[in-house]
Structure 1
Amino acid sequence: MSLYGKILLALDLSAECDQLINKAREIASANSAELYLLHVIEPLSFAYGGDVPMDLTTIQEQLDEHAHSRLNKYAEKIGYPVKEQMVITGHTETEIHRLAKEKAIDLIVVGSHGRHGLALLLGSTANSVLHGATCDVLAVRVHEEK
């Protein structure tokens, strides 16, 4: 019996994602696990508090299309069968937790930038995912690409 049957890899689509996909591939291979890829887009209305005097629908659709394209490239690059790729609009931590429960995920893999100072006090996505998850969470320390 494998330790992790279903793995959710949450990607922010940054340059550092290669570090995450390598780690997720290793763990998925070792466990013969199903691998799910996820990217969450925070709605533009979140960033502007909902008080935007223009329709953001077209811009949001362009962001979605771009995210689907980038996520597909990571799915091809990972070199392991991907059960499902998902781009979801919502609050990042909430959507990761919801999807992990919905898909009965055993392990969530996220990147951690090792923030310091004020960013550390305010928390990070990895920290929020860790504290609200009902399964194991692997926060992979990523290093900025130079």
Structure 2
Amino acid sequence: MSIYRHILVAVDLTDDAAQVVARAQKFQGEGVRFSLVHALEPLGFAYGGDIPMDLTSIQDQLTAHARAKLAELAPLLQVPTERQYVFTGMPDAEIHRLADQEGVDLIIIGSHGRHGLALLLGSTSTGVLHGAHCDVLAVRVGLKTA
């Protein structure tokens, strides 16, 4: 029996998401429920707000794509639609907010294990780890296996 009752699985929707979900599946058991989340950074952040056009329709398309990808992953963890979340905002802040709001006791997230400059600039998994009010499992992803 797992000590965790509500597990939030945060995925980036790359091929690495499968590794994160596979690790989460190891926690499946009686009384354990899962939620899935993907947080999109606003397009204005990515381009510094310097694009003189309305990005709303593109952001809506990205959100729809993210919802479809979560719906593909959800059956693996038996996550109902009402616990599949897509947010637009800073990923670590949105994951913290959702975890606190839903009473999550474990967050599972992928980590690329960046070093050097990439580590100094930060990553979502590092931000989640340092601001979470619950346990965090960072799953090493993107490793090539022989």
AA at the equivalent of 2:24: A
Does 2:5 match 1:5?
A: yes
Q: Is the 1:42–1:90 contact (alpha carbons within 8 Å) kept by the matching residues of 2?
A: yes
3-state SS, counterpart of residue 101 of structure 1? helix
AA at the equivalent of 1:95: E
* Distance in 2 separating the partners of 1:68 and 1:145: 28
1:32 Cα deviation after fit: 3.3
Name 1:58's counterpart in structure 2: 57
- Cα deviation, 1:16-55, whole Å, max 9, x if unaligned, reads 111110111111x146311000000111111122232111
Change (3 A) 1:143 1:31: farther
Please identify runs of 4+ aligned residues in structure 1 that moved more than 3 A. none
Q: Is the 1:5–1:31 contact (alpha carbons within 8 Å) kept by the matching residues of 2?
A: no
TM-score (norm. length: structure 2) = 0.91
Name 1:22's counterpart in structure 2: 22
How many residues were matched structurally?
143
Name 2:99's counterpart in structure 1: 100
Does 2:112 match 1:113?
A: yes
Name 1:86's counterpart in structure 2: 85
TM-score (norm. length: structure 1) = 0.91
In structure 2, the gaps of 5 or more residues are: none
Identity of aligned pairs, percent?
53
- Cα deviation, 1:57-92, whole Å, max 9, x if unaligned, reads 11111111111111111113x1x3214111111110
3-state SS, counterpart of residue 54 of structure 1? coil
* Distance in 2 separating the partners of 1:132 and 1:22: 24
Select between 97-106 and 29-38 the one with higher mean Cα deviation: 29-38
Change (3 A) 1:66 1:145: farther
What is the Cα-based RMSD across aligned positions, in Å? 1.7
